[in-house]
Amino acid sequence: MESKSLSKRWGAEYLEDGAVLFRVWATGQQTVTLRLAGQDLPMQSTGDGWFERRVEGVKPGTEYNYVLADGLVVPDPASRAQKADVNGPSQVYNPENYRWQHTNWKGRPWEETVVYELHIGTFTEEGTFQAAIGKLPYLAELGITQIELMPLSQFAGNRGWGYDGVLLYAPHSAYGTPDDVKAFVDAAHGFGLSVVLDIVLNHFGPEGNYLPLLSPAFFDKARSTPWGAGIAYDVEAARHYIADAPLYWLKEFKLDGLRFDAIDQIEDNSEKHLLNEIAERIRREITDRPVHLTTEDCRNIISLHPRQEDGSVPLFSGEWNDDFHNAVHVFATGETHAYYQDFADAPEKMIARALTEGFVYQGEVSPQSGETRGVDSRGQPPVAFVDFIQNHDQVGNRALGERLITLAGAERTQVLYAALLLSPHIPLLFMGEEYGETQPFLFFTDFHGDLATAVREGRAKEFEGHSGYEGTDVPDPNALSTFTASKLNWAAQDTPEGKAWLALSRNLLSLRQQHIVPLLATASGHSGKIVQTAPGFFAVSWTFPKGTLSLAVNISTEIHTAPDLPGETLFALPNLGHELPPNSVLVRLASGDAQ
């Protein structure tokens, strides 16, 4: 069922002879008309619900729509570019128009990865790819190696997180054109930065999705996700639409990888699961550079992240480790509401377990759900886990969008930040974290009418009874002010606090690249151990073929005597002797010969 032939592709594509083939799957329609540059052209039914029309002399950028039998005019669900809104006309896109500048880019190995997650709309004041290009030298100089873009697929309105996209192949027009996306990736490669994209394959947004009218069979009526109807992944045409999209983004935009959102909601009973098919195709079809694939999955599974005997990755490179974040959050803030209740009991022990074994929950019962969660993850290498102390989800899904620095204070946050960047797991930073950004990152949308009302009221209801939110007015997601309040305050870099944070970030990232990364290529599972824990304190270590790395953190109000950790001090905050005062971190490293 793998997508190879042109006859199975969705959308408008230039053929070798210069003509454009328009194709759409519409089992719910008896007729479909192509409206191209104002001219209506009947499409031919080619069987199994497919309609197509070949047209000569179509210029790039030409507007088109599909007209359904009842006269409704809709965009191409596989549009490669939208003129503006998700409900408006699609545009024919010629991928040959962009001339790549950095054609010798060979990518970067996974163990070097330091992820910088950013949202194009709030990363700069302009909120465009062209504006974001101007920040690339800064990120490269800082020591970032990988930019992770929040979802780009066209969604309703101008502003939003991107997780409610409906045109899976079209970059969101408010951020720029497809060529602007390419220019951003091209420029990033010129600065030695890889670029990956967060992609959503588990649902469509609530506005602008015309697939139920075109082909009701695209969706599984017996199944739903938290965000809408479940996709019928076992229906061939639907499977092609979904499975081809990751390959399209990787090949067309020369991306270096993808992050797959909430894969626990991708339910597929096919002989080969959709995700395995996608990963295998990517590994087989893209061989000119490393491609890094990560997953978000609340189940704490490891079956999608195996390693070959030589350490190579046959499927997915790593998984976002929410367990680590949640334990750190409770450890730093004391909050235990909602899903944080699973980490309320001795969070320092849970952080230590996450750092040394991967997941906290490896088959234990979750107090929140009352069900077991997770599998034994001790055999996974440290680089199979992507760790963070904050990200778009964990900040933005708070009613007021507070960052950790606001909740826990700068001093404590710096200690945890250092631990994140000097652990052997793959670290992820959320934009602005590197200079101590205090601006919130709120949940924002650009819906109208009844949908806007439903989202506004639903958001307020979501936080009823949450600790700390009693009587709090939840910002209206549709208000422009909610969006603008979420933009980075780049002027904060020039404050004394901002300069100190940047100096810390540069130092930590330099130490990581110089001392931690060399340990990781040969690092395997069963390498970590918990040295000591106490309330507000933990010490852990990892033994690798090339050295032993140790880490101790104290955020309690007590002074702790530093445990006997091998090697030399790599980093200490503040400068330490044999004691760890409150809000301190110690990292030591012993070479392989010194063990």
Q: Which residues are catalytic?
A: 261, 296
Q: How far apart are the first and last CA of the chain?
A: 52
Residue 364 identity: E
**Widest Cα–Cα separation across the chain:** 80
Q: For residue 446, what are the CA distances in angstroms to 23, 159, 291?
A: 30, 6, 33
For the four alpha carbons of 524, 527, 533 and 539, in that order, the dihedral sign comes to negative
Strand partners, 586: 552, 572
**In whole angstroms, what is the distance from residue 420 CA to residue 430 CA?**
12
The two three-digit tokens of residue 249, written as one number? 């983004």
Q: 461 CB contacts (<8 Å, ≥6 apart)?
A: none
Instruction: Give the tokens for residue 46.
Output: 């080619």
Could you tell me where the DSSP H helices lie in 402-528?
A: 404-408, 410-421, 449-462, 480-484, 496-511, 517-520
Distance between CA atoms of residues 20 and 113, nearest Å = 40
What is the DSSP track for 71-115?
S-EE--TT-S-BSSSTTS-EE---GGG---S-TT-----GGG--E
> How far is the CA of 22 from the CAs of 6, 7, 43, 487, in angstroms?
11, 11, 9, 39
DSSP state string for 80-91: S-BSSSTTS-EE
Rounded-to-integer distance, Cα 383 and Cα 182, Å: 28
Closest CA to 554 of 569, 540, 534, 570: 534
Quick one: angle between helices 496-511 and 410-421, nearest 10?
20
